[in-house]
């Protein structure tokens, strides 16, 4: 069983930055892929970024490429999402997810087994 707790969300002006954190329970955090997803009001959940177990492979949605950076600290059982140059369209609830079955990470949200409760990010114009 894996428990995930996100933090770091909030209200920021367009052009600003936020860093989300996701703390994971369990001793095998360093062996599985992690991802970030988001869901805006009235929209479906969408992939944002993913990272392999070692941190050596990362994936990004086209909409955030060059602005967001996913990283992880396996010693702290934590994955991060650094968000720069935020836009109003980035407003959403952001969820982290764990995929113990695949160490290389995946962009497919249906393959993730564990999800956090989400953290709200609001970007004002």
Least confidently predicted of 59-63, 92-96, 97-101: 97-101
pLDDT tens for each residue of 108-118: 999 999 999 99
DSSP assignment of 57-115? -EEE-TTTTTTEEEEEETTTTEEEEEE-S--GGG-EEEEEEEETT-TT--S-GGG--EE
Q: How far apart are the first and last CA of the chain?
A: 40
As a whole number, mean pLDDT of residues 90-100 equals 97
Question: What are the pLDDT digits (tens) for 9-19?
Answer: 999 999 999 99
Q: Is the pLDDT of residue 26 over 90?
A: no
The pLDDT tens digits of the residues spanning 35-69 come to 999 999 999 999 999 999 999 999 999 999 999 99
Are the C-beta atoms of residues 103 and 32 closer than 8 Å to each other? yes
| Region 75-92 average pLDDT | 97
The predicted pLDDT at position 96 comes to 98
Q: Which residues pair with 58 in a beta bridge?
A: 51
Q: Give residue 27's pLDDT.
A: 72
Tokens (6 digits) for 122 = 């609001």
Give the model's pLDDT for residue 64.
98
């Amino acid at each position: 069983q894996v428990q995930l707790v996100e933090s770091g969300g909030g209200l920021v002006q367009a052009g600003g930055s936020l860093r989300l954190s996701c703390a994971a329970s369990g001793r095998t955090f360093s062996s599985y892929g992690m991802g970030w997803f988001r869901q805006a009001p009235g929209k479906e959940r969408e992939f944002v970024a993913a990272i392999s177990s070692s941190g050596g492979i990362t994936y990004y949605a086209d909409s955030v490429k060059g602005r967001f950076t996913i990283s992880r600290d396996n010693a702290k059982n934590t994955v991060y999402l650094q968000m720069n140059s935020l836009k109003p369209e980035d407003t959403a609830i952001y969820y982290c997810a764990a995929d113990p079955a695949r160490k290389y990470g995946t962009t497919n949200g249906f393959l993730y087994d564990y999800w956090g409760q989400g953290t709200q990010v609001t970007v004002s114009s």
